[in-house]
């Protein structure tokens, strides 16, 4: 049995009881004090004034010591310090003083262990015995008796009473209690902090160039640019030890506090939102008496750039320089710009420009310089602003597409086209020349060959891309060849055995193509030269601008490679270039060794990185190359102009001869007219006014006749008139015949009218012709109205009679005015007319010679249609007629024929003019046979190209043309000349070349 534990347990029980009672007493006293003092204080203020609150506070302060005394008393009363074991043992044995010592000592000894006993030198068994006796004694004692419960009664009553008191107040006015509680809490809380005289300073980022803004009276959100330095200075309403600014979602920004109330803070504005202020005192967060205004970020807009040139997509030659210019603006400043080329690879080229809010820049780029761009590239300009806060923002212009036309490819394409055609033509010519007359199988073969040739030509022209070069003379020449071949081959294909015109035409076309191909080869060589030149300039420019020479090696390699190719081309392909070109000193004496030396010097300098030396060497090479290329260009130009120069010379000669013929014919025409006018004059007996009246009447008769024919023409069924028929059809033939008669009627009427106005007497001479033409027209009407109704036929008949009457009346009135017709002319006039007839005959012979010369020269004039000599023949025939008529004193007839002859000559003049125009070049206006023109002409900087198509005559069109022309030619041979058709042919050609 553990007596020590029993003893200790008993003593501890006493201690616990004592502590509990003490606590109980204290709690009661405290609660009572609190209830009594504070409840009224809590509840009353809700109903009373502020002053009362103050008094209440005073009362509480006054009462507090009493309460505290009371509490102290209670503590003192029950203040037994925590009872020690001995005191607790003593209290336990307070009811049995005789056991007190035993219990006390026993409790003390019970806590000795063997070690303590040994240390104190006591006997363990004695100690244990003592403890046992004390334990047995303690068993007799009751702890509850040591502390009577009655001592607690007043305190319990006090507690109960104060609780009831508090409860009564709370139940009576719970709201008031709550309010009062809140007021107390508030009073305990510290005062909110506010800004007194806060000053916001906003310093925008330096790159904006904007001035600082100071805001002292902040209302509404604050607006600033990102990167703006915001600094706040303020005097606070309360003391603080520390203040921070809290951005939304960001780290706090420490401010500085001086003199407890002066607060300063600064930060860089990063984003929009609230920037809360927090102030601390003694580590506690102080309430804020204001809501800070949020910040709103002002945007820094990206720059805007506009591409000025190029204005639109371009098709350019790769060795052409493209001028790129742009405008840009930004809210604060443009820092830099780049031209961006995006093809198969991307190339970025910095552009020099003046930084600023608005800026312009320009640069020239040479696409050839950048290998790997491919067949085209999108070009745009990107600019960056100077935003050093968020980073430079970029803005780009729209992009345009640059299509790179590889000059060489174009030339190759054209060359292929022409070579195929060329070969076919040569072989076909050979077939014709070797054909034995009378051999029918040969003829069949030749006809098949002709078909094949025409088919090939159409196919090739159709299938090749010709937009760019269609403006050039060579392309027009090809079309001209096709047209001419059609004219000569079609009849042969259709069955004619006449091969006469074929061989000269083939020869002509072959020679032309030969020239073109030679010029093409020359162009190829020159094209390389231009590429070399462009690259050299680029190299020189880059060296001048300070690029590291070592980076220029690849460019130099390209130059050397191109030079080698050019050299080889000039050496190996000279037989396929114009002789004038290959024989030129510039070609024969190519300064190979000088150029090679210069290249080697440059290469050495580039490798060693010696910029100065490289620049000098590049300059020297550029000078040498330019000089030589310039000489080559001159040689090429001379060769081209030599070719075309001869043609132009021939044409000029022809034009000169033609001019003389026309002058002669015109002179004859005027003389004939003059002679006719001399024989007539108005009657002297009639006064002026009456004469005028008479003229008017006569004029109106002619109008009536014209109207008569027009009306009756309208009566004839359309299909009978044969309008718009195809030339090959019979209907068309008939319509041709009608047209001819109608034309003659119109002419006769017009001539009569003209004479009436200029020489009234002479108009009598026209009457027979007018009558005859009128009758012919009506004959046509009658013939074509066989299927018409009776009423139509009747109308026609009446109309004819009416018109006839008008003409009769016209005659009678004229005779009444001027006497009989001037068919009786004087001998003198007859003689003079005969003299004119002789002159006309002389002119006829000269025209014949001119026609022969034209035929002979036609081979050298590829742009002249093959029918032009025929036109000369027609003019000659007309002159022959006029000569006969003049000799027979048939003035009207002679006038008509002379007019026809003059018209024929004019037609030839027009053809010569057109041929000359075609010869003299397309867009560039250069003469000669330069094939590929730079868009917009030489020296172009990459302008837009007219991409409109040219219609290439299809087979059907060519056949129509052929039929067309046949009709014209036949009509002309027969002395008929449908004027409308001539105009149509003319306009067809015009359309062809537009």
Partner 1 sequence: MQQLVTKHKYYYYKTIKGLGLLLGGLLCGVTLLGVLHGYATATEIYGISEKSLGLYKGSGLLFEWRVKEARELVDRLNRESPNDPDVRGLEARVLFFEGRYAEARAVMERNRMTGSFPELVATTDDATRNMRTHRSDHFVISWADPRDEILVEPALEGLEKARVAVLRDLGFEPEAPVRVEIYPSVSQFTSVSTLTRKEVRTSGTIGLCKFNRLMIASPRATLHGYGWRDTLSHEYLHLAIYHLSRGRAPIWVHEGIAKYLEGSWRGAYGDLSPSSEALLSRRMSEGTLISLETMSPSVAKLESAEDTQLAFAEVATMMTFLVETKGLEALQALAEAIGDGRDDREALEAVWGDSFAAYDARWRSWVRTQPLGKGEYQILPLALADEAEESEDPSAIPDREAENFVRLGDLLRERGRVHAAAVEYQKAYEQSPSLAGVASRYIWGQMAIGRYQESVAASDAALMIYPELGVLWGRKGMALLELERYSEAMEALRALMEINPFHIPGRRALLVAARHAGETSEAQRQEWALSLLEKETAHPPL
Q: Which residues contact partner 1 (rule: CB under 8 A)?
A: 423, 426-427, 429-434, 507, 510-511, 514, 574-575, 579, 585, 588-589, 646, 856, 859-860
Distance of CA 846 to the CA centre of its chain: 62
Least gap, CB of 590 to partner 1 (angstroms): 10
| Measured distance CA(580)–CA(582) in Å, rounded | 6
Q: Are strands 222-224 and 295-297 parallel, antiparallel or unpaired?
A: parallel
Least gap, CB of 574 to partner 1 (angstroms): 7
If the CB atoms of residues 215 and 429 are measured against partner 1, the closer one turns out to be: 429
Least gap, CB of 434 to partner 1 (angstroms): 5
Distance of CA 625 to the CA centre of its chain: 37
Contacts 24+ apart (CB under 8 A), 92-101: 92/10, 92/11, 92/14, 92/138, 92/141, 92/143, 92/146, 93/137, 93/138, 93/141, 94/146, 95/141, 95/142, 95/145, 95/146, 96/137, 96/140, 96/141, 99/137, 99/138, 99/140, 99/141
CB 878 within 8 A of CB 897: yes
If the CB atoms of residues 635 and 749 are measured against partner 1, the closer one turns out to be: 635
| Measured distance CA(726)–CA(825) in Å, rounded | 47
- HSE of 172 in the Cβ direction (CA atoms, 13 Å)? 13
If the CB atoms of residues 452 and 589 are measured against partner 1, the closer one turns out to be: 589
Least gap, CB of 578 to partner 1 (angstroms): 12
If the CB atoms of residues 594 and 699 are measured against partner 1, the closer one turns out to be: 594
If the CB atoms of residues 520 and 894 are measured against partner 1, the closer one turns out to be: 520
* Pure H helices in 78-173: 85-92, 97-110, 114-120, 124-138, 143-146, 153-172
CB 495 within 8 A of CB 328: no
Neighbours of 570 (CB within 10 A): 22
Least gap, CB of 449 to partner 1 (angstroms): 13
| Measured distance CA(379)–CA(382) in Å, rounded | 10
Least gap, CB of 856 to partner 1 (angstroms): 8
Least gap, CB of 429 to partner 1 (angstroms): 7
If the CB atoms of residues 425 and 931 are measured against partner 1, the closer one turns out to be: 425
If the CB atoms of residues 505 and 877 are measured against partner 1, the closer one turns out to be: 505
If the CB atoms of residues 650 and 740 are measured against partner 1, the closer one turns out to be: 650
Least gap, CB of 886 to partner 1 (angstroms): 38
Query: What residues contact residue 685 under an 8 Å CB cut-off, 6+ apart?
Result: none
| Measured distance CA(730)–CA(710) in Å, rounded | 24
Distance of CA 718 to the CA centre of its chain: 54
765 phi, psi to nearest 5 deg:
-65, -25
If the CB atoms of residues 431 and 728 are measured against partner 1, the closer one turns out to be: 431
CA-closest candidate to residue 768, choices 896, 597, 887 = 896
If the CB atoms of residues 248 and 653 are measured against partner 1, the closer one turns out to be: 653
If the CB atoms of residues 104 and 586 are measured against partner 1, the closer one turns out to be: 586
If the CB atoms of residues 555 and 587 are measured against partner 1, the closer one turns out to be: 587
Least gap, CB of 427 to partner 1 (angstroms): 7
Contacts 24+ apart (CB under 8 A), 184-192: 184/41, 184/42, 189/287, 190/238, 190/281, 190/284, 190/286, 190/287, 191/237, 191/238, 191/286, 191/287, 191/289, 192/237, 192/238, 192/286, 192/287, 192/288, 192/289, 192/290
Least gap, CB of 489 to partner 1 (angstroms): 18
If the CB atoms of residues 167 and 646 are measured against partner 1, the closer one turns out to be: 646
Least gap, CB of 938 to partner 1 (angstroms): 29
| Measured distance CA(509)–CA(489) in Å, rounded | 13
Token pair in block for residue 865: 């249609």
Least gap, CB of 570 to partner 1 (angstroms): 10
If the CB atoms of residues 152 and 587 are measured against partner 1, the closer one turns out to be: 587
Number of H helices, E strands in the chain: 28, 19
Least gap, CB of 638 to partner 1 (angstroms): 16
DSSP H or E segment with residue 811 = helix 790-818
- HSE of 562 in the Cβ direction (CA atoms, 13 Å)? 23
| Measured distance CA(801)–CA(789) in Å, rounded | 19
Least gap, CB of 504 to partner 1 (angstroms): 11
């Amino acid at each position: 049995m553990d007596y020590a534990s029993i003893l200790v347990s008993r003593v501890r029980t006493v201690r616990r009881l004592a502590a509990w009672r003490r606590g109980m007493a204290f709690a009661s006293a405290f609660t009572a004090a609190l209830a009594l003092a504070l409840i009224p204080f809590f509840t009353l203020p809700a109903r009373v004034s502020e002053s009362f609150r103050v008094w209440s506070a005073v009362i509480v302060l006054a009462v507090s010591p009493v309460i505290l005394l009371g509490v102290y008393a209670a503590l003192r009363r029950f203040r037994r310090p925590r009872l020690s074991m001995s005191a607790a043992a003593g209290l336990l044995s307070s009811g049995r003083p005789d056991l007190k010592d035993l219990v006390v000592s026993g409790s003390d000894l019970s806590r000795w262990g063997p070690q303590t006993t040994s240390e104190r030198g006591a006997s363990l068994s004695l100690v244990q015995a003592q403890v046992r006796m004390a334990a047995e004694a303690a068993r007799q004692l009751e702890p509850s008796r040591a502390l009577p419960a009655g001592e607690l009664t007043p305190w319990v009553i006090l507690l109960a009473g104060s609780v009831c008191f508090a409860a009564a107040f709370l139940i009576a006015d719970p709201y008031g209690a709550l309010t009062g509680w809140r007021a107390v809490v508030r009073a305990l809380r510290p005062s909110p902090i506010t800004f007194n005289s806060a000053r916001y300073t906003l310093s925008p980022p330096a790159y904006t160039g904007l001035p600082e803004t100071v805001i002292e009276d902040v209302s509404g959100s604050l607006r600033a640019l990102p990167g703006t330095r915001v600094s706040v200075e303020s005097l606070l309403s309360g003391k603080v030890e520390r203040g921070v600014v809290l951005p939304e979602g960001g780290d706090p920004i420490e401010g500085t506090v001086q003199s407890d109330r002066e607060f300063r803070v600064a930060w860089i504005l990063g984003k929009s939102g609230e920037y809360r202020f927090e102030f601390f005192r003694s580590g506690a967060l102080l309430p804020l008496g204001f809501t800070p205004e949020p910040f709103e970020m002002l945007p820094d807009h990206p720059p805007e750039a506009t591409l000025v040139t190029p204005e639109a997509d371009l098709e350019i030659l790769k060795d052409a320089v493209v001028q790129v210019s742009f405008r840009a603006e930004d809210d604060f400043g443009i820092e830099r710009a780049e031209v961006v080329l995006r093809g198969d690879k991307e190339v970025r080229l910095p552009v020099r420009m003046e930084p600023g809010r608005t800026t312009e820049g320009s640069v020239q780029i040479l696409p050839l310089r950048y290998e790997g761009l491919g067949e085209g590239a999108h070009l745009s300009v990107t600019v960056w602003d100077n935003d050093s806060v968020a980073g430079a923002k970029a803005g780009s212009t729209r992009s345009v597409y640059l299509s790179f036309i590889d000059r060489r490819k174009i030339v190759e394409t054209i060359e292929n086209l022409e070579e195929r055609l060329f070969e076919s033509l040569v072989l076909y010519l050979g077939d014709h020349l070797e054909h034995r007359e009378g051999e029918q199988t040969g003829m069949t073969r030749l006809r098949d060959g002709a078909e094949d040739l025409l088919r090939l030509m159409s196919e090739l022209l159709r299938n090749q891309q010709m937009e760019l070069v269609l403006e050039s003379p060579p392309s027009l020449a090809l079309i001209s060849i096709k047209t001419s071949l059609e004219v000569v081959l079609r009849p042969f294909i259709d069955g004619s055995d006449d091969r006469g015109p074929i061989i000269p035409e083939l020869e002509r076309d072959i020679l032309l193509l030969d020239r073109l191909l030679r010029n093409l080869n020359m162009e190829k060589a020159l094209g390389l030269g231009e590429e070399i030149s462009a690259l050299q300039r680029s190299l020189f420019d880059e060296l001048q601008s300070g690029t590291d020479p070592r980076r220029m090696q690849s460019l130099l390699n390209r130059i050397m490679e191109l030079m080698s190719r050019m050299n080889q081309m000039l050496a190996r392909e000279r037989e396929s270039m114009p002789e004038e070109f290959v024989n030129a000193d510039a070609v024969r004496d190519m300064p190979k060794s000088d150029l090679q030396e210069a290249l080697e010097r440059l290469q050495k300098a580039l490798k060693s990185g010696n910029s100065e030396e490289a620049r000098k060497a590049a300059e020297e090479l550029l000078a040498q190359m330019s000089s030589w290329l310039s000489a080559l260009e001159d040689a090429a130009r001379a060769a081209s102009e030599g070719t075309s120069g001869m043609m132009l010379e021939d044409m000029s000669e022809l034009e000169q001869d033609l001019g003389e013929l026309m002058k002669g014919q015109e002179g004859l025409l005027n003389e004939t007219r003059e002679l006719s006018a001399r024989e007539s004059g108005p009657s002297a007996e009639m006064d002026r006014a009456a004469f005028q009246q008479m003229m008017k009447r006569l004029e109106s008769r002619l109008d009536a006749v014209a109207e008569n024919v027009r009306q009756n023409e309208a009566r004839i069924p359309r299909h009978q008139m044969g309008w718009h028929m195809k030339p090959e059809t019979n209907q068309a033939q008939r319509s041709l015949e009608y047209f001819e008669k109608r034309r003659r009627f119109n002419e006769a009427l017009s001539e009569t009218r003209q004479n009436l106005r200029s020489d009234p007497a002479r108009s009598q001479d026209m009457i027979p012709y007018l009558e005859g033409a009128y009758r012919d027209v009506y004959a046509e009407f009658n013939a074509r109205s066989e299927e018409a109704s009776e009423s139509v036929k009747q109308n026609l008949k009446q109309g004819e009679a009416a018109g006839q009457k008008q003409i009769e009346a016209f005659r009678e009135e004229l005779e009444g005015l001027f006497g009989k017709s001037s068919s009786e002319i004087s001998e003198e006039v007859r003689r003079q007319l005969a003299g004119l007839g002789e002159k006309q005959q002389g002119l006829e012979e000269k025209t014949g010679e001119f026609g022969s010369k034209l035929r002979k020269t036609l081979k050298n004039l590829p742009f002249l249609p093959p029918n032009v000599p025929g036109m000369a023949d027609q003019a000659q025939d007309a002159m022959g007629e006029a000569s006969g008529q003049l000799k027979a004193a048939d003035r009207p007839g002679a006038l008509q024929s002379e007019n026809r002859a003059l018209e024929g000559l004019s037609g030839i003049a027009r053809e010569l003019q057109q041929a000359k125009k075609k010869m003299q070049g397309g867009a560039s206006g250069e003469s000669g046979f330069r094939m590929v023109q730079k868009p917009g002409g030489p020296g172009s900087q990459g302008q837009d190209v007219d991409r409109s198509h040219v219609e290439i005559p299809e087979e059907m069109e060519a056949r129509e043309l052929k039929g067309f022309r046949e009709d014209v030619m036949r009509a002309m041979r027969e002395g008929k000349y449908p004027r409308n058709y001539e105009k149509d042919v003319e306009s067809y050609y015009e359309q062809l070349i537009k």
